[in-house]
Amino acid sequence: GAVVSQHPSWVICKSGTSVKIECRSLDFQATTMFWYRQFPKQSLMLMATSNEGSKATYEQGVEKDKFLINHASLTLSTLTVTSAHPEDSSFYICSARDEEMWDTDTQYFGPGTRLTVL
């Protein structure tokens, strides 16, 4: 149980285009999902918290107009990188909490999406 998927697993795009990444909880419902970014040889940094049916909350320093998050259902959150530039190239990872479980602060992570902007 507690499986999270991401799609696509990797994407290459041209500078100035937008890219959408999907995060799905496959066998549980998640009112809260999280988006992280991991630069090469660095740790994961939380970008934003995605809340089903309401606006996402962004960490300090993360541009909400650049990283659009939509959490339209209890099993799907999407991250859209708008007008992507080479410095946005990174590994994007989502996670979800299974809030039916007693330990609601355990997060289950997706396999990540590698974005390369040319």
User: Which residues within the stretch 70-89 sit at the binding site for another protein (CB under 8 A)?
Assistant: none
Considering only 18-26, 60-68, 69-77, 95-103, which stretch makes contact with another protein by CB under 8 A? 95-103
Residue 103 sits in the site that holds another protein (CB under 8 A)? yes
Residue 32 sits in the site that holds another protein (CB under 8 A)? yes
Pairing mode, if any, of strands 113-117 and 10-13? parallel
When the beta carbons of 58 and 75 are compared against another protein, the nearer one is 58
Q: List the one residue out of 68, 35, 65, 71 whose CA is nearest residue 53.
A: 71
Q: What DSSP line would sit under 19-45, residue for residue? A: EEEEEEESSS--SEEEEEEE-TTS-EE
Q: Give the Cα separation of 76 and 24 in Å (integer).
A: 5
Among 7, 13, 31, 44, which residue sits at the site for another protein (rule: CB under 8 A)? Answer: 44
Among 1, 43, 54, 61, which residue sits at the site for another protein (rule: CB under 8 A)? Answer: 43
